[in-house]
Structure 1
């Protein structure tokens, strides 16, 4: 049974399918279906879901027993909506996979007396400056970093740290507003870009200048239990777009990745999680391997974006979205691998700035082709990296294979059978979304 989408102040849920005594999982924020529907589906197999979202999208209906219209970015509105749900049904857990809402979800779980990370720990992960401070205090390898207010402070910080440096927003995600700089003039420009950067409703709230960590970028996908034990379930290898940006253009997960047995990496990841005080949830830890040694870039107090948990499931059989639901209920998740292969995602970008005119997938399909999805529609203005970012993606491809190399070959094959036409933008219009 699917419920209507009431506004806060009206009865928020109808009677659940199975019984009114079944505890529900509150999911804070829906996200974009192309990137998050798989996760909501997995969580719905663990518990009945009640979604709280400012405007619950239609695709969430099939995975939820009820949806509540309330703005998760407004703590008072979020708490009022959650309390209305508790008046009708027992709530067994709270979770979110949206970066903007991790702290609010943690406060909500704490207020309801439910498992979850502390608001303090979630806040440290959410704030890249606080993360750096916590890592430094704990002796976890990371980048040298300074929080700056103004372009002169940014240039001064870059001079102290030494070029090249990375200038980034304090509280955004998805590599938005992040730039590599090799000169004071570039730092000034990057500071203004970072300070004014936006992603959905998130704002920069300050700018960091950091030392550049030169090496391949990876992420560790982890489940942290209530006692603080950090289980490193998988490692994802990132493909990045051209500098000066850091656009993530794809990811690959290999069930037998050698880094899963790398004690230095495992120690860095667990040390980083301990430094933040994070417990009871799924975390996404980003690192660079610099001269063979891991250095932590940031910690996200939520399951990864960019379909990485879906790749983990395809490659290993471990369901991180389902694990997030289990941990939110205080239960031990199933983390034993049941598959042994690789999986990869590649995001499609325009070859030049303009307006998307036509798009066509012509690959006939194969058992290893998990999905090919368009996320842009004809008429959308688009810009390629490094000027363009996540909002300029045209679509994505997901494949499986016995090895990462075979995944890349298959991604090449499917992309070669994809037709994309970009027409020039009208004179005087901007192509950057």
Structure 2
């Protein structure tokens, strides 16, 4: 297939965390379907259609309106593909692909990823390493399931991302509060996935994420990020580290798990972000997301490997065969800075790029006056005040450099 024609991009996301993707995708003609008029997006797009959300407060897309808008664009232009890197829009994007006869995830495949209960059922049925799980609607039911699985357990919403509402529960006494946190978090997103929570057996071991491409059912990884977690008992993702020559990229057991998981979920064409935990039973799939990773993981993956994930995504959407090969050999990591407690930012102090070995970026990501709330009152963008990016020849040195940069960062809060 030739590369002329438009690729529809559904949703643009938050500028700081997603502009680099739209900028790269926009090196080919792209048409943006978004809920608001574009501002910073205009530099990267050939055109746009505004499609208001069905429920803006809960980020609920209007799927029929998005499909109708896509159909109108296709009536006036040659549309060769459709893609999204927004978790809340992957199902809508699949509806568009099916309506226009484009390559992409099917609606069933996207739902299999978006609905974590379906993910668990299908992966367990395929014989993949999975935690025991139960979908429950009350804290009492959650305690029964947890007692059966053995404490500690994990509770989580069915349809949220970025570890929102995910809690480690050590014992029965802590379940009421944990259930409330997870259940209330589910009501902050799409109502299709609210109500009840998942209770899961606690898996232990190091955790990674893999951004990969699926074409004609064949899976290939782009890069692997080693994840740092913090703020227990919550699973806040505090940082990620990518090495272009990570030996796990050719690990037979991991690759077999990834291929089988994608087949079990019915994923034929598209981009995915898969989270894996290495347990004493082997690699266990935590979840498969039907889009590229968040938290700037694709960005540091591009810095470390030279592979541009947005360009890969555009090619996959258009049906152009991809064979991504690293052009760089380095390790790059990102670390997010959190306040010690809730408060309003008075001032932040960060080391300057170049002032420490390997520090290439240091950015305050909230202004003075921003209110920061730690989990469970706030997650991700609501509780971070800065990000740091470091580079080194290998992962151990990169991790040490991130530690040094984080130690040099500080924030002054106004409390109350």
Whether these two folds match at TM > 0.5 is yes
- Is 1:373 the counterpart of 2:363? The answer is yes
Any residues of structure 2 matched to 1:21-420 within 5 Å, and which? 22-45=4-27, 47-71=28-52, 73-197=61-185, 201-202=189-190, 204-205=193-194, 206-225=196-215, 227-291=216-280, 293-365=282-354, 368-385=358-375, 388-390=378-380, 391-420=382-411
Kindly indicate whether the alpha-carbon contact (under 8 Å) linking 1:22 and 1:89 is maintained by their aligned counterparts in 2: no
Q: CA deviation at 1:221?
A: 1.7
Aligned to 2:58: none
Q: CA deviation at 1:400?
A: 2.0
2:105 match: secondary structure: coil
CA RMSD of aligned residues (A): 1.9
Q: CA deviation at 1:256?
A: 2.0
Query: Structure 2: how far apart are the matches of 1:52 and 1:370?
Result: 34
Q: CA deviation at 1:333?
A: 2.1
Q: CA deviation at 1:83?
A: 2.1
Kindly indicate whether the alpha-carbon contact (under 8 Å) linking 1:347 and 1:397 is maintained by their aligned counterparts in 2: yes
Moved more, 354-363 or 309-318: 354-363
Q: CA deviation at 1:89?
A: 1.4
1:142 match: secondary structure: coil
Aligned to 2:57: none
Query: Structure 2: how far apart are the matches of 1:64 and 1:395?
Result: 29
Query: Structure 2: how far apart are the matches of 1:213 and 1:57?
Result: 42
Distance 1:286 1:280, change over 3 A: same
1:357 match: secondary structure: strand
Query: Structure 2: how far apart are the matches of 1:200 and 1:35?
Result: 20
1:231 match: secondary structure: strand
Structure 1 unaligned spans of 5+: 1-20, 426-433
Structure 2 unaligned spans of 5+: 54-60
Q: CA deviation at 1:395?
A: 2.4
Kindly indicate whether the alpha-carbon contact (under 8 Å) linking 1:268 and 1:294 is maintained by their aligned counterparts in 2: yes
Query: Structure 2: how far apart are the matches of 1:370 and 1:44?
Result: 25
Kindly indicate whether the alpha-carbon contact (under 8 Å) linking 2:278 and 2:284 is maintained by their aligned counterparts in 1: yes
Alignment TM-score, normalising by the size of structure 2: 0.92
Aligned to 1:15: none
Deviations 1:322-365 (A, max 9, x none): 11110000111240111111111111111221111112434153
Moved more, 272-281 or 289-298: 289-298
Deviations 1:51-77 (A, max 9, x none): 111114422111112222113600122
Deviations 1:361-410 (A, max 9, x none): 34153795443333212112113456642121112122222111222233
Q: CA deviation at 1:160?
A: 1.6
1:133 match: secondary structure: helix
Query: Structure 2: how far apart are the matches of 1:198 and 1:209?
Result: 14
Kindly indicate whether the alpha-carbon contact (under 8 Å) linking 1:176 and 1:199 is maintained by their aligned counterparts in 2: no
1:352 match: secondary structure: coil
Query: Structure 1: how far apart are the matches of 2:384 and 2:188?
Result: 15
Alignment TM-score, normalising by the size of structure 1: 0.88
Provide the aligned length of Structure 1 versus Structure 2.
Answer: 403
Deviations 1:147-205 (A, max 9, x none): 11112211111122111100000000000000001212312221111111158744552
Query: Structure 2: how far apart are the matches of 1:199 and 1:409?
Result: 39
Kindly indicate whether the alpha-carbon contact (under 8 Å) linking 1:242 and 1:386 is maintained by their aligned counterparts in 2: no
Kindly indicate whether the alpha-carbon contact (under 8 Å) linking 1:285 and 1:300 is maintained by their aligned counterparts in 2: yes
Kindly indicate whether the alpha-carbon contact (under 8 Å) linking 2:353 and 2:361 is maintained by their aligned counterparts in 1: no
Distance 1:261 1:77, change over 3 A: same
1:196 match: secondary structure: helix
Distance 1:196 1:385, change over 3 A: closer
Query: Structure 1: how far apart are the matches of 2:62 and 2:376?
Result: 33
Kindly indicate whether the alpha-carbon contact (under 8 Å) linking 1:344 and 1:400 is maintained by their aligned counterparts in 2: yes
Deviations 1:211-241 (A, max 9, x none): 000111111221111x211102221100001
